[in-house]
């Protein structure tokens, strides 16, 4: 007897969807800031778009970017990505982009107001977490976090190691 609502053994994956190891279907990872989760206690995460030139998006599609030393700052009622490095596109002409220029983030007004409040009043840091391409558009996952002290970092590492050892013991 056939089950209702099931296909005939066809895969549910959509064409162009991400394969194993990537963040989510339809997303292609360009750069990660792995140090951010170590240096900061991330309280919340938000997705933002990026205003880029043509040579910048082409360079991103080649995976030539770094957000390790980048941070996000409010300026004139807008949020800006500062210190991110997007390498110049090799096939572009002499009017190529500046690799270290500040880039505007695309967010809703409420999101900007919320992030500005967190930055100014609560003294939290806004750090870029993950740069990726979703449905052909460059997106940046930003995290609002509190800086960790050295002993906090050690405690977090000890907790992760203990959890890792517990998982290994359960597998045996």
Per residue in 147-164, pLDDT (tens digit) is 878 777 788 888 889 999
Measure the CA–CA gap between 88 and 81, rounded to whole angstroms: 17
Tabulate helix, strand, coil % of the chain (nearest 5): 25, 35, 40
Residue whose C-alpha is closest to residue 77's, from 32, 102, 45, 110 = 110
The domain limits of the chain are 27-171
Measure the CA–CA gap between 78 and 119, rounded to whole angstroms: 13
Per the CB < 8 A criterion, the answer to whether 128 and 82 are in contact is: no
Measure the CA–CA gap between 93 and 105, rounded to whole angstroms: 26
- Burial of 61: CB neighbours in 10 Å, binned 0-12, 13-18, 19+: middle
Q: What CATH number does the domain located at 27-171 have?
A: 2.40.280.10
* Cβ neighbours for 129, distance < 8 A, ≥ 6 positions apart: 32, 33, 36, 37, 42, 45, 141, 142, 143
- Neighbour tally for 41: CB within 10 Å: 15
Q: Tens of pLDDT along 23-58?
A: 567 788 899 998 888 888 899 999 999 998 888 888
Output the pLDDT for position 142: 95
Measure the CA–CA gap between 168 and 35, rounded to whole angstroms: 25
DSSP state of 9: S
Q: Tens of pLDDT along 83-129?
A: 999 988 887 777 787 788 899 999 999 999 999 999 988 889 999 99
Q: Tens of pLDDT along 52-77?
A: 888 888 888 988 899 999 999 999 99
Q: Return the residue matching tokens 């190691």.
A: 161
Q: Which helix (H) or strand (E) holds 7?
A: none
């Amino acid at each position: 007897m056939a089950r209702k609502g099931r296909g005939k053994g066809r895969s549910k994956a959509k064409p162009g969807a991400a394969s194993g190891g990537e963040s989510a279907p339809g997303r292609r990872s360009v750069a990660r800031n792995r140090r951010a989760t170590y240096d900061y206690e991330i309280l919340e995460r938000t997705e933002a778009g990026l205003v880029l030139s043509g040579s910048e998006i082409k360079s991103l599609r080649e995976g030539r970017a770094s957000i390790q030393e980048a941070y996000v700052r409010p300026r004139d009622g807008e949020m800006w990505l500062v210190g991110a490095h997007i390498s110049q596109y090799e096939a572009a002409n002499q009017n190529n982009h500046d690799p270290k220029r500040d880039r505007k983030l695309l967010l809703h007004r409420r999101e900007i107001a919320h992030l500005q409040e967190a930055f100014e009043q609560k003294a939290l840091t806004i750090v870029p977490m993950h740069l990726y391409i979703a449905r052909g558009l460059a997106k940046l996952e930003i995290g609002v976090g509190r800086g960790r002290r050295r002993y906090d970092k050690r405690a977090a590492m000890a907790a992760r190691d203990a959890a890792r050892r517990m998982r290994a013991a359960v597998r045996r």
